[in-house]
Structure 1
């Protein structure tokens, strides 16, 4: 298996929405998008591959050095280093992403809503923007605002959808400041039944995701449709939020996902109409 096929396999297994979106990109740039998104999958799942946080930090530091050329033939790192050079991608964006991913390794609560948006900006938003640059042939596509907003909407929605799993392993992505306002605490994520405080913060963050999605779509309206594949994963945000808004939904017990067929239909429809 060559590096491109290896990267594509990682994306297909680890982020199906992103894989489907990449298929709508021109064939010539798909290998570069697969390299970027395979990297994203790899670093987003570091916690699952190590026994203690320090080992995770060592892995993230390895990626920092690998993207500067010291990758030892590792196929994803090699392919991404080539992509960075070819499209003049800002290495600082990768450094910021790797720094943000350190949070995933520990069980400290997300301090504030601002920290949550910053985390989303350095991870999901950055990946969208880097993909847009690749799709624009290495030129600045003017998509920073749209990517920033769409990334927050996408990341926050993903955090809410996966709340049962993250809470079960001791992580708290719900901002501590929001919990404190309603008289709740990170420990409430392990309570049963789900407290009203947790439900309130959950609803507030769902509203935040919607608030970021609407202007992201508006900002995208003025941009070249060539970069749309970078944004297509955000097409699932609204359908997922709608499911989580049902009265019987329990944020800590239910979780939410869309079937593979439903996700494929949403992505195809968004690509066809040229709007996520």
Structure 2
């Protein structure tokens, strides 16, 4: 049974009710791709599995959907929101980067864009929002998630520094109301990033910051 991330559940509860199930399906797809990479010991095997997902997602609009729960949900909840199968298939690119290369600065940058940026931009499209800051927030979110699993502390620190730059840019100005669920996800990652780099704000300040974002968009 897949555990539910309480932080993500809280953040997605900020989304308009009609979009929540679709966003949950989208992030479940990202979870599945993450599991492939994190559980793969042989890069070639991982690439083959990601290729299967890439092809299955690309064909969603033109062929019967495989009996796979994540794909079934994507077909019924995400494609109906105006997202193409090919744009979802591109989400495999960020994860494949981790199988193809040693992780260095260039890898971090590419992963941030191809995983987090793409994911949040697709989510924004589902919400009817076009705002470059949302992609930047997604890049920061992905970098924090990657840093969490890196054993190289120097590289992890660099990932967190890159995330800080993106969060600083993403949270300039007010966010659109419909996108504040994504902003809350990024804020939770930002809290973790601050805790790793310096000193974390206490629980009360975190809750207050999330509420401010939900209500006012800052």
C-alpha distance in 2 between matches for 1:36 and 1:270: 26
1:233 correspondence with 2:164: no
Q: 1:35 aligns with which of 25, 34, 45?
A: 25
Structure 2 CA distance for partners of 1:45 and 1:59, relative to 1, 3 Å: same
If each structure's helix is expressed as a fraction of its own residues, which one has the higher value? 2
C-alpha distance in 2 between matches for 1:66 and 1:262: 44
1:100 correspondence with 2:94: yes
Structure 2 residue matching 1:206: 3-state secondary structure: helix
- What is the TM-score of this pair, normalised by structure 2? 0.80
* Shift of residue 234, structure 1, vs aligned partner: 0.6
Structure 2 CA distance for partners of 1:156 and 1:71, relative to 1, 3 Å: same
- Residue 133 of structure 2 corresponds to 146
Question: How many residue pairs align between the two structures?
Answer: 214
The answer (yes or no) to whether the contact 1:232–1:267 under 8 Å persists in 2 is no
C-alpha distance in 1 between matches for 2:86 and 2:181: 23
Residues 37-52 of structure 1 aligned to structure 2 (within 5 Å): 37-52=27-42
Q: 2:54 aligns with which of 59, 64, 73?
A: 64
- What is the TM-score of this pair, normalised by structure 1? 0.65
**5+ residue gaps in structure 1?**
1-8, 168-188, 248-256
Residues 198-217 of structure 1 aligned to structure 2 (within 5 Å): 198=154, 202-217=156-171
Residues 1-276 of structure 1 aligned to structure 2 (within 5 Å): 10=2, 13=3, 15-67=5-57, 68-69=59-60, 70-105=64-99, 108-113=101-106, 115-136=107-128, 141-143=129-131, 145-163=132-150, 167=151, 189=152, 198=154, 202-218=156-172, 221=174, 223-246=175-198, 265=207, 268-275=210-217
Moved over 6 A (4+): 261-264
Deviations 1:181-228 (A, max 9, x none): xxxxxxxx3xxxx7xxx3xx5544433222211221126x2x531121
